[in-house]
Chain A
Amino acid sequence: MRITQTMIYRNLLAGAETLRENIETANQQVSTGKKLNSLADSPSGSAELVDLRAELDCIDQYRENAGSGGFFISLAESVLSSAYNTVTAIYTRGSAGASSLYDDAYRTELANEVRSLRDQLLSLANTEAQGRYIFAGSQVTTAPFAVSGDTVSYQGDLVQNGIDVDNGLQVQQNVAGSTVFSKAFSTVEQLLTALESGDQAATQAALSQFKDALGDISQARAGLGVSLAAIQNAGTEQDSRELAIHERQGKIQDANLAEAISQLQANETALEATFTARMVVGQRSLFDYLA
Chain B
Amino acid sequence: MSSLFAGLHIGERALQAQQFALETTQRNITNANTPYYSRQRVNFIPGDPIGFGAVAPGGGVIAVSADAFRDRFIDYRVTQELQPKGENDAVLSALDQVEALLNESEGQGLQAVLSDFFSGFSSLANAPEDPSLRSQVLVRAQDLAREFTHVYEGLQSIQTSNDRAVEDTVSEINSTTSAIAELNSRIAQAHGLDSNEEYALRDQRQQMLDKLAGLVDVSYWETESGAVTLTGAGGAMLVVEDNSYKMTAVTQPGTSYLQVLVGGQNITSDISSGKLGGLLKVRDSLIPGYLARLDDMAASLIDKVNTQHALGADLAGQQGGNFFASFTPLIPGSSAGAARSISVAITDPAKIAAAGLTEGPGSNANARLLAGIGDSKILGGGTATLEQYYSDLVFTVGAQARTARDASETQGNILLQLQNQRDSISGVNLDEEAVSIIKYQKAYEASARYITVLNELTEEVLGILG
Identify the A interface with B (CB < 8 A).
1-7, 9-11, 14, 36-44, 46-51, 53-54, 57-58, 60-61, 64-65, 68-69, 72, 130-132, 136-141, 156-157, 159, 161-164, 170, 173-174, 285-287, 290
When C-beta atoms are compared, the residue in chain A nearest to B362 turns out to be A140
0/1 per residue, B361-400, Cβ < 8 Å to A? 1111100100110000000000000011011101111110
Check if B112 is an interface residue, CB within 8 A of chain A. yes
Q: Choose, from B73-81, B126-134, B153-161, B279-287, the stretch at the interface.
A: B126-134
Q: B402 contacts the other chain (Cβ, under 8 Å)?
A: yes
Q: Say yes or no: A43 contacts B398, CB within 8 Å.
A: yes
Interface string of B103-131 (1 = CB under 8 A from A): 01101000110111011001101111110
Interchain CA distance A164-B123 in the complex, whole Å: 10
From known contacts A2-B429, A5-B429, infer whether A132 and B33 are also in contact, taking CB-CB under 8 Å.
no
| Partner pick for B392 among A40, A47, A164, A173, CB 8 A cutoff | A47
Closest Cβ neighbor of B36 among chain A residues: A6
Known contacts: A6-B423, A50-B391. The answer to whether A139 contacts B122 by CB under 8 A is no
Given contacts A38-B105, A51-B387, whether A57 and B119 have CB atoms under 8 Å apart is yes
B32 & A6 in contact (Cβ 8 Å cutoff): yes
Tell me whether B430 and A285 are in contact (CB under 8 A). Answer: yes
Q: Determine whether the beta carbon of B362 is less than 8 Å from that of A39.
A: no
Contact B401 A40 (CB under 8 A): yes
Q: Which interface residue of B99, B115, B371, B390 has the most chain A CB atoms within 10 A?
A: B115
Q: Are A10 and B104 within 8 A (Cβ)?
A: no
- Which of these, B363, B423, B431, contacts A286 with CB under 8 Å? B431
> Residues of A contacting B364 with CB < 8 Å?
161-163, 173
How many of B's residues come within 8 Å of A, CB to CB? 67
**A132, B127: Cβ atoms closer than 8 Å:** yes
Complex Cα spacing A51 to B114, Å = 12
Some 14 contacts from A to B, beta carbons below 8 A apart, are A4-B423, A4-B424, A7-B424, A11-B416, A38-B105, A39-B102, A40-B99, A50-B387, A65-B125, A139-B360, A139-B361, A156-B360, A163-B126, A174-B362
Contact (A140, B429) CB under 8 Å given A6-B35, A38-B401: no
Instruction: Kindly name the residue among A6, A38, A51, A60 whose own CB sees the greatest number of chain B CB atoms within 10 A.
Output: A6
Q: Does B84 interact with chain A (Cβ within 8 Å)?
A: no
**B398–A159 CB distance below 8 A:** no
Instruction: Tell me the bound Cα distance from A132 to B354 in angstroms.
Output: 15
Chain A's nearest CB lies how many Å from the CB of B364? 5
Residues of B within 8 A of A4 (CB): 32, 39, 423-424, 427-429
A264 to B105, CA, bound (A): 23
Q: Are B99 and A38 in contact (CB under 8 A)?
A: yes
B107, B371, B431: the one contacting A164 at CB < 8 Å is: B371
Nearest CB of A to B400, in Å: 8
Give B residues with C-beta under 8 Å from A.
Answer: 32-33, 35, 39, 95-96, 99, 102, 104-105, 107, 111-112, 114-116, 118-119, 122-123, 125-130, 355-356, 359-365, 368, 371-372, 387-388, 390-392, 394-399, 401-402, 405, 416, 419-420, 423-425, 427-431, 434-435, 437-438
In the assembled complex, the Cα of A173 lies from the Cα of B122 at a distance in Å of 13
Contacts of A42 in B (CB 8 A): 398
Residue of B111, B423, B438 touching A50 (CB-CB under 8 A): B111
Known: A2-B424, A4-B423, A287-B430. A69 touches B105 (CB 8 A): no
- The CA-CA distance from A212 to B118 in the complex, in Å, is 43
A141 engages B126 (CB within 8 Å): no
Cα(A87)–Cα(B396), bound, Å: 65
The reply to whether B363 and A161 contact each other, CB–CB distance below 8 Å, is yes
Known: A47-B391, A290-B438. A39 touches B119 (CB 8 A): no
Q: Looking at the complex, which one of A39, A140, A163 makes contact with B394 (CB distance below 8 Å)? A: A39
B122's partner among A36, A47, A65 (CB-CB below 8 A) is: A65
Cα(A131)–Cα(B126), bound, Å: 13
How far does the alpha carbon of A176 sit from the alpha carbon of B129 in the complex, in Å? 17
Q: Which of B33, B356, B388, B397 contacts A51 (CB 8 A)?
A: B388
Candidate in A47, A58, A64, A164 with the most chain B CB atoms within 10 angstroms? A47
